[in-house]
Structure 1
């Protein structure tokens, strides 16, 4: 990972076995969702997957959607749309912050 996680929720410290126990999903299902690019675990030097608490919640949300008949492709498309919307909002916030800083001669 490029940067140190800011919250304990983001730290990738949970093994796939524990994630399986917490979510009720099989390890095979969890690996399948990784293959479908719905969850992104880190890997240890020995190749073991490590998940965060946010990943656990995402997997539970994915399982609920799958149970409701939503396809993995649709879930992935929704994730992409949300990420784009978050990125646009961050750009807007940074632009506004920059304009305010420039207007009031503020430096960070």
Structure 2
């Protein structure tokens, strides 16, 4: 696991790093755009990847996108990636069978 994936940053530190209010960060979590882990005591913990993700979200919002549009665009991108991976897998399988 990369250091960027480790959930170790508090919401206060994320707020300072991103310039986003704690309230806004919690709102993006409610909208299922970011997924912090929770400690046993309920404290949110974020990763450096989450910080980058929040900055991307903030930039998209600043450009006029709505949260539902961000989610929809990401859903479409994941669907395209899945189709691309399936096609690549099929091409590899076809090429491998031809060598036998």
Cα deviation, 1:71-100, whole Å, max 9, x if unaligned, reads 111011111112222333344444555556
User: 1:74-89 residue pairs with structure 2 within 5 A?
Assistant: 74-89=69-84
Task: Please state whether the residue corresponding to 1:38 is helix, strand or coil.
Answer: coil
- For these two proteins, the number of residue pairs brought into alignment is 100
Aligned residues: CA RMSD:
1.9
Task: Please state whether the residue corresponding to 2:45 is helix, strand or coil.
Answer: strand
Residue 70 in 1 paired to residue 44 in 2?
no
Residue 57 in 1 paired to residue 34 in 2?
no
Higher helix share: 2
- TM-score normalized with structure 2 length: 0.83
Q: Which runs of 4+ in 1 moved over 3 A?
A: 89-105
Residue 101 of structure 1: how far off its partner (Å): 5.8
Q: Which runs of 5+ in 1 are unaligned?
A: 1-5
Whole-angstrom distance in 2 between the partners of 1:104 and 1:43: 50
